[in-house]
Structures are given as structure tokens and as C-alpha cells.
Structure 1
Amino acid sequence: MPDDTFIDLFSGAGGLTFGLQRAGLTPIYALDAWSDAIDTYRLNLPGHTAECGDVADLTANKMKSIIPQRPNWVVGGPPCQGYSTVGKRNRNDQRNRLFEHFRRIVQYLEPDGFVLENVLGLKDMSYEQEVAEAFREIGYRVRFQVASAADHGVPQLRRRVLFVGHREADFKGLDPLLQADQYVSVEQAIGDLPKLQPGESATMYDAPAKSDFQRLMREEMIELQGHTASKHPPHLVEAISHIPDGGNRTSIPDHLQPKSGFHNSYSRLASWLPAVAVTQNMGKPSGTRCIHPKQDRGLTTREGARLQSFPDSFFFTGPSTSQRLQVANAVPPLLAESLGRSLLDPDHWA
């Protein structure tokens, strides 16, 4: 198989690069249009150029001047809003065509292979064949699959669409590392973090790690970043106090029932299961199943990062709302690491 350098387009805060780097690949360039995310990327992934800019402006002349060598891989995931099963899906949404810029850059740089990832909504819109054929036309053999993050040690039932292409070989696919009865639960992921009331913060651990996952996330850290709970009005705190671990708004007494929200709003995570997909509204009890399983509040940025498999040493920058969005939009690093190991493993190629 080829060497291991890569560039990351639509890099966000760096979840994909972080995982691939841990697997043994070497990043040489990153690009994203969101300045907060690039600031976070630069803080955690120094040593190469990470630019804030529009992929449409990445012309041939610019690539010649800023990318130090032909990368072996081009990776990235266009913004997901146009594909998302949560939003209104529109095949004419220009965000749904951003992969064409990705394709243009792949065609110019001629890497040995590429990885394009996105959320599951892309498959739901029947883009699978359209995207794959676009890369076959420029000389790549393409493998498509849906990967579940929980299968790779991420305490979250998030699924991602993966396109892996190569000029000379066929990717056999990403194999699950865990079975359902081995999944990492919410309790195993965040149960060691300090308890907080709404509006409180903690910057130090106050209990030892209790699971292998917690030990993996803590490494040698002694301080916490991003463990701040959002403030909630007293009546909301009282309302959610009636919801049991894993329960939902049906347990809230009628006189305390919120007047708005969806059926899965005001629901607690189940401590004994992986989380559902983490969203930017993780701090809001009105979000989609994002109330702490045992504390009467929404999740902190650090808890969301843990559920995405970001280690505690990975610091997020910008306002708290921006940090939560960076976490929610990221590729889970453990999933990315598993992918990277598969890309480098000759047994995963034919």
C-alpha cells in the first residue's frame, strides 16, 4: 500500500485528522471555512498548515504553492446540513454539491486514495451511486459503506457514510471491533466526571477513572476543560428531576410539562447504553435525548466530547455554543482511528 500522508478538506475541529494521525497517517494540510474550528484544529494538531478558507478558492495554482507534496490521501467530509435526516433534504441544496469540489481537488492532486465521509442522510437521498461514479470516472475504485461509531469503541450510536477510493486496489471495508454487548455505555464514558448543578463548572477531577474508556480519555490529564453546565430555570430543573435514567418527558407531571418540544425532547440518556447522536443542543434539556442520565441538567461540552471519543487533552476553543457545535459536527476520533488502521492494513485491500 502507499505511504501515509494526507490532506483534510472540511476538517472542522479535527476529529478525522486526529484519529487518522493516531492510526499512523501523517497530516500535511487542512482546510475549513469556520474560523473557530480551525483555531481548535491548530491548537490540538500543530506542525502543519491549517487554513481558514473556502474550498472553492483552492485552485490549482494555490495548491501548488501551499501543499508541500503530493499527498497519498485526500480525506474530508462536506458540511452535513444539506444531507442530514434531521433537516429538510433538498437535492438542489448547493451544500449537496460540495463533494464536487472535493472531486476536483482529488482529480488535480492524483492521490493514491481518498476518503469521503458524511452523515447517513446522504445514503437516504440515493447519492451513493452518483458520488461513487463521479470518482470512478477519474480513475478510482470506490467502496461505499455505512459505519457505526459504537462498533469502534465510541459510546454513541452515530453512523457515518464512508466512500473509500483507490487507484490500484479495492478496499474490503471497515470491520466492526465490538459487538453490541461490548458497546461502551454513557456511564462508562462520563461517569467519572465531577457532578454539577446547572450553571456550575469543574476544572479538576474528583474521582478516579472507573472504566477502560475513562482511563483512555483521561490519559495523564489532571485538569478538565469544557466541563461547564448550562444554566436552567428552576421550574425546568424541577420538571426534569422527575425523569428517570433513560426516561422521557412522559414522567413529568402535567403541571410541569414544557409547552413545546418534540416527542424525544426532555429525555434522559440511558446510563447503561451508548448515547444517541450528540448534537449542538447537548446543553439544552429540550434537545434530542441529551439530559444527563443522573443529574438534572443538559450535557457539558466535555461530556459531549467524551461521547464523541475526544480525549480530555483535546481542548476546544471559542464560545461555549461554538465548542458544542464543533464537538457535534466532528467525526468521532476512535472511528477515524479504526478507519486509519484499516487503510494501512494490507489485509483490508484486494
Structure 2
Amino acid sequence: MKFVDLFSGAGGLSFGLEQAGLQPLLGVELDKHASATYRENFSHPCLNEDIFSVSGADIVEAAGAKPDLLAGGPPCQGFSTIGKRNREDDRNNLVGEFIRIAGEIKPRFVLIENVLGLKDMNFVEEITKALEDIGYKTNNYVFTSADYGVPQLRRRVVFVGSLDGLTFIKPNPIFAPSKYVSVNDAIGDLPEILPSEKKYEYTQPPFTDYQKKMRGDMYELTGHEASKHNSELVKAISFIPNGGNRQSIPDELQPNSGFHNSYSRLNSKEPAVTVTQNMSKPSGTRCIHPFQNRGLTPREGARLQSFPDSFKFKGTGTAQRIQIANAVPPLLAKAIGEALLSPSSWTIEET
């Protein structure tokens, strides 16, 4: 099954689908840093273009062949439960661009991934109808990333459509909640560092299967750099226990900004909450390291997204954090890809 990845970002979806056995032909991504990351990690091309200016014919030409699958995760800010969830947000029109290109290329299958907020806003029916209008039998499912080996409770809605009238069946979870990969299972082997510090070498061997899988045969450590925090902030968060929150900070050290779930530590024994682009800021949503007095490094965020250590991110620290946070977790994409290739994952309705 050959595929093209629209809105490819850094390549989390492409990486997972390729690991499952699908053949990537092309990525399409507007952001220059994300497209540079994509090119760094894949041997096939990535168009650094605005989707509004690209036609289906352009994509087939750049890909070198018509894809069997058109996949992608249109930018989700307009749908996100973190944002204002504005139905009129121009970014929501990007889903329409995906559907336009699908109609022009007519691949056998389509796959759209997006945030759960889309489902809350009743866009599901609209997207399903739009795909059915161009010939795709479509259904959708909500996926919890931790069910498929990702050390994170990120939930996403995934649409799968078929021109053949086939109905896609969601793959069964691989991990029960009692067996979820925890934060410490994922990042506990990475070197301890202070705010503003960086390290390029591992200081201990991996001690879980997940760490071994993520590290592979890497010897050089990239992206393990902590953001700068002032001494008052470091002192304040030092009072927060593993898995705790800002309620443990003394009144005289309480930060003036943030929300109820700001200034909270990850629980080392559980999967992480959804990793966001503010992963390095203690004022972000539960992103303080379980034991160290700082926010997460890009490499720790990438581990929690299930990117292997060999996957290198390009651009500034801010650009890397955005790419990591916006990505489809590769292990989730791999599980979906394996299901796409399995005949038992498809049924056809009798008429």
C-alpha cells in the first residue's frame, strides 16, 4: 500500500505507517522547519508548499505514482479543546482541502487524523458526508495512544474511508491500562540535567523494553536540552511531589500566572497527559519532570510521543517542540497501518 502524507509535519504518521509496512511516496508540509525535519529522516521527498496552491495532479507528479492511500492530519488548532474551538476558524478549512485533493486523486483509501475536539463540535458528520459525497464509505473511531504502547494518554479521532465500500474495523488495544508504558518506563534512562543544561551522551543503560526500543543502537543523544528557569521558579516547583500540582507550593512562592493544571508534575508511574508545545514550560499543562525541577526537554517529549532517539528534529528549540507536540505518535500510526494492511480489519455490508 503506497501512501502520501498531507500536512505531514515532522513525519510521525509517515514513520509509523512505514514501520507497519506501507510504502511512503511523499510528504506535503507548509512549515519550513517541519519539512526540513521530514527530509532529514526520510529518503522520499517532502513538498514545502501551501496546500491551497497544490493540486492532486501536482501531488501525483511529485510522488511519482498514484497513491493507494491519502493520509494526513490537517492542523488541529481550530478544533482543539485547548483553544476556543471556533467553527469558523480558517484552519478548519484545511480539512476541506484534504477532501478536495482526495476527490482529485481518488486513492483507494483515505485516512484523516485529528484531535478529539473535532468530535465534540459535531464536525464528524460533516466530514463523513463530505467524504461519502466523493465516493468513500467512511467510519471513524477514537483512539487512546496508550492502548498501543505510547506512554501518553493522547486521544485522537481517526477517519478511514474506502472507495470499495469496505468498512474499517478499529484494531484491538495492545496494552491493558494496567500494562500501560509509564513516564519513567519511557524517559527514566535519560541523563539528569539542570535548567539550561544539555547533554549529548547517555549516562546509563536502558532498563525497560521501551527504552531499549527508543534508543536502538544510538550512542549520541540529541535534543536533550532543558529550558532556562529562574531560581525562584525552580525553588517553587521543588515543593511539588511526583504527580503533584501547584497546591504543594507555599503561598509566598505561588506563581501569579497559569491555570489550575499548570505547575504540575508528571506522575512517573503513569502515562503522560497529552504532550503540548509548552512541554518545556512549568506553567504548561502537567509537564514538569517527575523528579527533576524543570520542564521536559524536546527528547523527553519525543520519547513520550514514541519517536525513537534516532529521529532528529530540525529548527530552533521552539520549532522542535511544536513539531513534536503536533505529531501523530508513531506507535499509534504503526498500529493503524498494520490494521490497514490486515484483511481481517475490513468488512463489507451486505445489501
TM class by shorter chain equals: over 0.9
Q: Deviations over 1:106-150 (max 9, x none)?
A: 111111101000011100100111101111111111111110000
Partner of 2:244: 247
Query: For the structure 1 residues 64 and 347, does the alpha-carbon distance in structure 2 shift closer, same or farther, using more than 3 Å as the test?
Result: closer
Distance of 1:62 and 1:333 partners within structure 2: 27
Equivalent residue runs for 1:289-328 within 5 Å: 289-328=286-325
CA distance in 2, matches of 1:241, 1:149: 30
Q: Does 1:73 align with 2:82?
A: no
Q: Partner of 1:170: helix, strand, or coil?
A: strand
Q: Indicate yes or no: 2:210 matched with 1:219.
A: no
**Closer, same or farther in 2 for the Cα pair 1:137/1:200, shift >3 Å?**
same
Are 1:133 and 2:129 counterparts?
Answer: yes
Structure 2 unaligned residues grouped into runs of 5+: none
Partner of 2:8: 11
Match of 1:43 among 32, 40, 44: 40
Query: What's 1:268 paired with?
Result: 265
- Equivalent AA in structure 2 for residue 214 of structure 1: Q
Q: Which runs of 5+ in 1 are unaligned?
A: none
Tell me by how many angstroms 1:66 deviates.
2.2
Deviation at 1:315, TM superposition (A): 0.5
> Bigger shift: 48-57 or 274-283?
48-57
Q: Give the alignment of 1:5-154 within 5 angstroms.
A: 5-46=2-43, 48-63=44-59, 65-154=61-150
TM-score, length-normalised on structure 1?
A: 0.97
Match for residue 344 of structure 1?
A: 341
- How many angstroms apart in 1 are the aligned matches of 2:261 and 2:104? 45
- Secondary structure of the equivalent of 2:324? helix
Q: Give me the whole-angstrom Cα distance separating, in 2, the residues matched to 1:34 and 1:215.
A: 31
Q: Aligned partners of 2:216 and 2:142: how far apart in 1?
A: 30
1:175 aligns with 2:172: yes
Change (3 A) 1:250 1:200: same
Distance 2:6 2:59 in 1: 12
C-alpha RMSD over aligned residues: 0.9
Distance of 2:88 and 2:237 partners within structure 1:
40
Matched position secondary structure for 1:304: helix
The 1:208/1:142 distance shift into structure 2, 3 A limit, reads same
- The answer to whether structure 1 residue 236 and structure 2 residue 236 are counterparts is no
- 1:200 corresponds to which of 197, 201, 205: 197
Normalised to the residue count of structure 2, the TM-score between the two structures is 0.97
Secondary structure, in 3 states, of the residue corresponding to 1:145? Answer: strand
Q: How many residues align?
A: 346
Could you say which residue in structure 1 is the equivalent of 2:156?
160
- State whether structure 2 residue 289 is matched by structure 1 residue 282: no
Amino acid at match of 2:222: Q
Runs of 4+ in structure 1 displaced over 6 angstroms? none
| Equivalent residues of 1:143, 1:173 under 8 A apart | no
Give, as a single letter, the amino acid of the residue that structure 2 aligns with 1:205. Answer: Y
**CA deviation vs aligned residue, 1:259-294 (integer Å, no higher than 9, x gap):** 111001100000000000000111111110000000
**Percent of residue pairs bearing the same amino acid type:** 55
SS across alignment from 2:160: strand
2:56·2:102 contact (CA, 8 Å) conserved in 1?
no
